[in-house]
Structure 1
């Protein structure tokens, strides 16, 4: 009968199976322990009492199992990325183990397993005599139950240990050669037999047993040595695996040929592969035949089969995740950091959970998008450039959930510092994230950071079309309610000659001085707090700063942080912190709650809508993001960034369903990317080749809705009073106008009664939007000039009289004479210097018919 069709429960228990009965148990224990008691000088009649007083309850702790990390494939299935383990073990159920394995274990290790009550009397006496009486080599003599007890005690001790020294001590205590340890194992074995069935004990044994090196449990052993599941191994393979249990280091099948269990035996001049294992394997096969677990034919065929392992190295760590290795490393650090208990500084619970917890971690990674991100970087940025240490990342975050969908980098991953030092294409540093999560100390985001000044500009009640002075100039003061107002001298350069005098153009063209002008009307502290509301923080963990230069992006931020912030802008101002894990399933099938995304309303939806309107203009004609348009028809927002000397270049943008940050720059160094080219083209524009490749996939897969239209109030034009500068010096007039937010222009001299060199008038005067250019005229001292009076609110008669007094003529704009009408406007404007006899055109608020009013000249 084939062993595959037999079950071990068919074997009769026999008389020794009644060991649980107290009377017979006492007799068997006496017989079993007497040799050990004798050599330790204990009186036999005290043996039973001492034995019964030993602890009988053994806590079977959770086994140390490997943790697996998975990502989602295009078809929705889960792909394995990496494993982590101290012990390579995968616990399996009874039906997932071949009957050959079960029969081989019993035949080779404990033929009377189903007949005894936890202690094999014959084996125990033989082992005790050999070890303690005859002083021969240590003999096991332990039943499978006793071996299981020993392995449980090893496992419990190591799981509780916090250092390598404690682990070694726990192992030594559980394996020491002493009668005391044997007695305690026997006591525990009898107790276990009363609590668990034989099948349960055998299953526990097969799942816990050591199979050489870091391989534990029959499932991992089958996969490692034969690249099969434990349910699928052949008879010969099952016997080879169980052979290892007897002496894991001697009989393991992965030694190189020069060591003990490689090719070390020669027969008829020919080497015999894995001779040690084969010898033990064939012994087990003979015992299986003897116990009638297999037929003679099965035995002979198995013995004739050479030992041919198919070593399949289990990978521990993220290097097996290939292009997704840096995302894997981020997940690893999330587990280590988020599940560590700060109250126990000497214990790293997160690392223990990762290495021993047997978790199944289902991540947020979208492998279709990830593969495209990897391809986009590979095609456009080299891993190594002899001219500088080049770096590039691409990170995609989902608005509304914070899920990280992609995280790619232009480097190979390694945790070996020697490899990284020898080969610049390797690194363990994940440029995408914070230092505490395996990242760098951060990257300057450049002009992409300007969106937070835009947000605060709108928060403070300013509008998109409100004008300001966007020209290049020196800024000398800024309000900062956090750390004290700033004063000094700051004169930033612009990337080109364009001047933007409203928030829309400033965003589309990324004009530095325009954003500095906006910031000068705000509170730097509020800009910082608005950035923090979008989740912005320094990657090195230090406090976020807000100096005037930081308006232009000089704080070091991680790309994933910037991507999450842009996702928040696209998500009606609701920002969700980035997450990498969707589910964590524990070894027992229950779930562990993963770190959750926290969503915060960073700005009101109305402000967010105004922001997205301005940020859409970067893709319009002339906008700095035009080159990144993927052309899918899905609406995008975006912002580019280039730091001083083009050391870092960015493209960050989003749809309502995906936000992607792309960085290309110096890992270290100060190379100017505008002076360099890659095989794919200009180094400075590589970001514009990477970003649309990724977003094309995201657009086609996730789509994207239209961004909501802003409220009309965000387009209002705000008029402010033009300072009265007539009579001031030209420099004083310039200062007054610029402080008020206007652009000064010297209009030259004109005839005026005012002293020569003093301001004689402006054009325009009255009110205008900030940023308007004001022409300022100075007097040449010619008395033939006169100043146009302010006629506002006067009747026609009063206006005529005022003009006559100034030596000027009046012309109405076609209204019939109406004595109740008042002046609505005039040209030239009030306070304008003109020659005497000049004509002033006056428009009145009420007209009654056609024709010219009396008095027009």
Structure 2
């Protein structure tokens, strides 16, 4: 009984305050009244400002006609804010008639309804009912503010405060509603209410509700549809109409409220005619559920799921979007951004077509493949595909081996991949350092397999290494001395390692870093001699951007995936921009292209060449055990990296037949098909002319070192500006231990490696024996240093006999000891 009395007193006090506040607003505002209740009312906050509503963010790519196409939407609340004229009048009338018939005449609180509610709640300890549209709007604003709080405990506390059913909350809501009415027009309040209202699940606002439940815009809702949606507002999760009949009575309950409350209220308030009412009542609630484009899985429709996911990681990682990751991600999901990306749908489709043609989504082992295109000079990422469908649903990826959440194209922080060894594609950075330090493409290097002394590799950063390193060339070739240009075209491992011996390992690493190269796992780049051959694990996007720098006169531009962002009000926001810096001088880049052009024109990548009239350059890469295979190349307009390899495991790609093709050739087939299509759209021009000195070098005379000791030959070559290489001993007619020959001889570019061969003294030169008598022939043979035991005479040997020939012939060499000299005679 005591509780009931207190309830009556409490609600009566509220009613008294409201009557005073509404009837004598001046008194309430100035605080002249002595009544304690009025004083309590005035001490409450009087104004609440609606924050920007949480809206879904849309991500777009660009179609061939230049128009955007939606890739995906990301949201916490599926909401699209619309204007007054974008909402059907049926909706506005239904809300007012049902929720607050005196909306346009009261000052934020309906006194008559409040008094009735006070009487109805007199025996309760909580306050409910009598909530005007303005009061409901206030409550929704407070809920929205609560949901925007980052801290979970604070967010929950604020939400409970905004939704609790108590007298003090109701009183505060009323005061704020009165204040709201003083700041905004009735239409603005109603519009705000319709845009903020929950419609069940993650659907908020009348536009998203219309699109989700009926597949139409809010402006096109029929009376029956509008009344059905307004019915949901009363109990969003109980009256939402996307619950199948077998799972609940939602649709029936929604129709009951529509027919018993909403439509009758509209008829009573003269918002609809009797005929309209009858027609709407006769129309069953028949939803047409249109699932919203949510999450990057929906971008799989144009094979852009992984690119979409890359964009979301940019937002999470880039401080442009907020001070920390949680803030950035919340802003992304609630900010209503319109994100226009760099993705070219034409190129994306061409890339996916090439990928699907040659690399299956699943195979006998964990086969992976990636293609990425970067635009030289801008860093814009134009295409990004792999041989999987994107899904971040663990249940999907656990059972579907053709789906993955890991983006093979990007770094770990941008998609979960730790990268792949890039093999000989990494040689371009040794090539760049070679040319930077004044060497030329025409310099000669020993390309034969061998064991290298690691102490001979300079490293100004770490001090270098000790021990030895035994290396062979791909396929076991031993090409001998080759020019750097030839070594690049044919990807000669030993030539590049010996080039590195003449350079500084630390500077090679710094040059790679100048091209934007870094490990995908975030660890520092390695700079051991083996790293020259590409043992660092790097993302395809990173390699594509590095090759784009070569095509861009040596200017490296950081990759970017976003062209423009608009906020929910249409204002343009800052976006992460590409930063361009010089990796190498233009003349170095132009000369690199000559050697790298040979790769695709006549070297290891001829299968990649589209031969479409557009100049290209590139570099192949194959890792140990053929675990990973690469081709990265470019025109003046596009740089594209293709990787085909093992995601996990070590199956030889080269020695595996995949979809009827040699696995080692798939990278070439993909690149050629894709770039043929891409060239058709973007074209390409000739590359700049190379630096003649860097191309040809300065040719100088090689000293004549024949007959010298090895030390004397070394000194003579070094003094002339050449590098000395001991080629070992060979069979020779020269004195043992003296120089027999060199490769090359004559002239070579200064700085070339001259391989010097010393004689083992084992060869003798056969003298001219024809016409001599056998005795005279024996004396000539002995004088030539040939052992008599090696000689066999064929024919008469008396005093009248004459020599008619020998095998080997005169002037030819014969090894001392085991070789045979056959002398032919006849009677004189």
Q: Give TM-score scaled by structure 2 length.
A: 0.84
Distance 1:329 1:341 in 2: 16
* Residue correspondence of structure 1 range 551-700 to structure 2 within 5 A: 551-621=532-602, 623-700=603-680
Report the equivalent of 1:24: 23
Describe the SS at the equivalent of 2:576. Answer: coil
Q: Which runs of 5+ in 1 are unaligned?
A: 1-18, 31-42, 263-272, 786-833, 835-857
1:404 matched to 2:381: yes
1:83 to 69, 73, 76: 73
1:740 matched to 2:719: no
Deviation track 1:89-120 (CA, whole Å, cap 9, x = no partner) reads 11111111111110111011100000101001
The Cα of 1:495 is off from its aligned counterpart by 1.6
The 8 Å contact of residues 110 and 144 in structure 1, kept in 2 or not, is answered as yes
Report the equivalent of 2:465: 486
Report the equivalent of 1:821: none
The 8 Å contact of residues 723 and 736 in structure 1, kept in 2 or not, is answered as no
The Cα of 1:315 is off from its aligned counterpart by 3.4
2:516 to 535, 542, 550: 535
1:315 to 293, 313, 330: 293
The Cα of 1:138 is off from its aligned counterpart by 6.7
Report the equivalent of 2:13: none
1:759 to 738, 744, 748: 738
1:510–1:20: structure 2 CA closer, same or farther, 3 Å change rule? farther
Deviation track 1:212-256 (CA, whole Å, cap 9, x = no partner) reads 111110011001100111001100000000110111112110112
Report the equivalent of 2:817: none
2:684 to 696, 704, 717: 704
1:158–1:331: structure 2 CA closer, same or farther, 3 Å change rule? same
Distance 1:418 1:149 in 2: 41
Describe the SS at the equivalent of 1:603. Answer: coil
The Cα of 1:779 is off from its aligned counterpart by 5.2
1:343–1:65: structure 2 CA closer, same or farther, 3 Å change rule? closer
The Cα of 1:780 is off from its aligned counterpart by 7.3
Describe the SS at the equivalent of 1:362. Answer: strand
Distance 2:592 2:488 in 1: 9
The Cα of 1:278 is off from its aligned counterpart by 3.6
Report the equivalent of 2:450: 473
1:118 matched to 2:108: yes
Describe the SS at the equivalent of 1:673. Answer: coil
Distance 2:367 2:270 in 1: 68
Report the equivalent of 1:831: none
1:180–1:723: structure 2 CA closer, same or farther, 3 Å change rule? farther
* Residue correspondence of structure 1 range 18-57 to structure 2 within 5 A: 24-26=23-25, 45-57=35-47
Deviation track 1:343-398 (CA, whole Å, cap 9, x = no partner) reads 65xx6111111111110000000011001111111111111112x10000100000
The 8 Å contact of residues 75 and 333 in structure 2, kept in 1 or not, is answered as yes
The Cα of 1:282 is off from its aligned counterpart by 4.4
Distance 1:720 1:302 in 2: 101
The 8 Å contact of residues 501 and 771 in structure 1, kept in 2 or not, is answered as no
Describe the SS at the equivalent of 1:328. Answer: helix
1:413 matched to 2:395: no
Describe the SS at the equivalent of 1:155. Answer: helix
Describe the SS at the equivalent of 2:69. Answer: strand
Distance 1:193 1:116 in 2: 9
Report the equivalent of 1:68: 58
The 8 Å contact of residues 739 and 757 in structure 2, kept in 1 or not, is answered as no
1:438–1:735: structure 2 CA closer, same or farther, 3 Å change rule? farther
The Cα of 1:584 is off from its aligned counterpart by 0.6
Describe the SS at the equivalent of 1:649. Answer: strand
2:220 to 229, 232, 241: 232
1:215–1:723: structure 2 CA closer, same or farther, 3 Å change rule? farther
**Paired residue total:** 737
Q: Which runs of 5+ in 2 are unaligned?
A: 1-17, 768-810, 812-828
Describe the SS at the equivalent of 1:200. Answer: helix
Distance 1:196 1:751 in 2: 107
The 8 Å contact of residues 467 and 501 in structure 1, kept in 2 or not, is answered as yes
1:625–1:371: structure 2 CA closer, same or farther, 3 Å change rule? same
The 8 Å contact of residues 340 and 348 in structure 1, kept in 2 or not, is answered as no
Report the equivalent of 2:190: 202
Distance 2:28 2:239 in 1: 33
Distance 1:225 1:182 in 2: 32
Report the equivalent of 2:181: 193
1:159 matched to 2:187: no
Distance 1:607 1:404 in 2: 25
1:178 matched to 2:166: yes
1:332–1:759: structure 2 CA closer, same or farther, 3 Å change rule? same
Describe the SS at the equivalent of 2:219. Answer: coil
Describe the SS at the equivalent of 2:370. Answer: strand
The Cα of 1:631 is off from its aligned counterpart by 2.2
1:332 matched to 2:322: no
1:723–1:206: structure 2 CA closer, same or farther, 3 Å change rule? farther
1:548 matched to 2:529: yes
Deviation track 1:309-359 (CA, whole Å, cap 9, x = no partner) reads 011112321111101000000000001111478965xx6111111111110
1:391–1:309: structure 2 CA closer, same or farther, 3 Å change rule? same
Distance 2:684 2:748 in 1: 40
The 10-residue stretch of structure 1 (769-778 or 367-376) with the greater mean CA deviation from structure 2: 769-778
The 8 Å contact of residues 253 and 261 in structure 1, kept in 2 or not, is answered as no
1:413–1:473: structure 2 CA closer, same or farther, 3 Å change rule? same
1:130 matched to 2:114: no
1:74–1:278: structure 2 CA closer, same or farther, 3 Å change rule? farther
The Cα of 1:487 is off from its aligned counterpart by 2.8
The 8 Å contact of residues 705 and 713 in structure 2, kept in 1 or not, is answered as no
1:49–1:489: structure 2 CA closer, same or farther, 3 Å change rule? same
Describe the SS at the equivalent of 2:654. Answer: helix
Report the equivalent of 1:277: 255
Deviation track 1:457-507 (CA, whole Å, cap 9, x = no partner) reads 000100111112222222112001011123321122212326262121111
Deviation track 1:283-315 (CA, whole Å, cap 9, x = no partner) reads 211111111111111111011000000111123
Distance 2:625 2:72 in 1: 40
The Cα of 1:731 is off from its aligned counterpart by 13
1:28–1:96: structure 2 CA closer, same or farther, 3 Å change rule? farther
Describe the SS at the equivalent of 1:160. Answer: coil
1:781–1:705: structure 2 CA closer, same or farther, 3 Å change rule? closer
Describe the SS at the equivalent of 1:399. Answer: coil
1:669–1:688: structure 2 CA closer, same or farther, 3 Å change rule? same
The 8 Å contact of residues 475 and 490 in structure 1, kept in 2 or not, is answered as yes
1:628–1:169: structure 2 CA closer, same or farther, 3 Å change rule? same
The 10-residue stretch of structure 1 (595-604 or 411-420) with the greater mean CA deviation from structure 2: 411-420
The 8 Å contact of residues 56 and 334 in structure 2, kept in 1 or not, is answered as yes
The Cα of 1:450 is off from its aligned counterpart by 0.5
